[in-house]
Amino acid sequence: MTNSLKPCVLITGFAPFGGENINPSWQAVQALEGLNIDGFTIQTKELPCEFDTSIHALQGAINKYSPHVVLCIGQAGGRADISIERIAINVNDARIADNANNQPIDTPVVPAGPAAYFTNLPIKRILLALHQSDIPASISNTAGTYVCNHIMYGLMHEIALHHQNVKGGFVHIPYLPSQAVHHNGAPSMSQQTVESALKVIITAAISNKSDLKVAAGTTH
């Protein structure tokens, strides 16, 4: 393994879904391919927006790159800021079919897996770093019940079983302006801002500092 010689971050985006032509997560992620951030090489991967298949693709990329940090990014159409997911839950409940035409309802991501996994990224440190960079961001306590939550659960399960030194997490991003044009009144974020956000997140994630204790919860 040459992993220790060339430390890397694996960052993933998703294929378009739900009638969109693009997915802002992959638009921003692919722009980071090959970058060097604080000595870490950025490796990227586009995941299919499909239950199960997406997890297999992610596992393949983890095995290929042996990353220190894995960051999965997904579109949250309607959210206004960068939202850093705190937890993934062991359920699939698809409001719409995925790109392979599967629509699981109330099935587990991993049969007999735990009810949920917390991210092991320093989410409060990431939050403050984004704010200090003038980028709107918040902590989210639900990644939904679709493929985004599914991949985050699959990632944290993989880390728990096979890669306990790896840091992993999930970040939701808004529509791009070009998408919001077709979603009357929906908020958006420019790709440039999203790319800046991803660099800030990666820098904080690889800093290897413990998380901060700052309140960022919700009353409901």
Q: Is 148 in the site for its own copies (CB under 8 A)?
A: yes
**Which secondary structure element, helix H or strand E, spans residue 72, and what is its range?**
strand 69-75
By CB under 8 A, tell whether 134 contacts its own copies.
Answer: yes
**Catalytic residue among 8, 49, 72, 148, which?**
148
What string marks each residue from 160 to 199 as x (binds its own copies by CB under 8 A) or -?
A: ------------x----xx-xx--xxxxxxx-xx------
Selection from 137, 155, 32 nearest residue 84 by Cα: 137
- In sequence order, what are the beta bridge partners of 13? 46
Residue whose tokens read 């290897």: 208
Distance CA 61, CA 75 (A): 20
18 touches its own copies by CB under 8 A: yes
Q: Please say if 85 is a catalytic residue.
A: yes
Among 35, 40, 36, 33, smallest CA distance to 6 is for 40
Which amino acid does the sequence have at 16?
Answer: P
Residues 104-123 that bind its own copies (CB under 8 A): 105-106, 114-118
Judge residue 122's burial from the number of C-beta atoms within 10 Å of its C-beta, 0-12 exposed, 13-18 middle, 19 or more buried. buried
- The nearer residue to its own copies, 8 or 85, going by C-beta atoms, is 85
Q: Return the active site residues.
A: 85, 148, 172
Binding-site ranges for its own copies (CB under 8 A):
18, 74-81, 86-87, 89, 91-96, 103, 105-106, 114-118, 124, 131, 134-139, 141-146, 148, 172, 177-178, 180-181, 184-190, 192-193, 211, 213-220
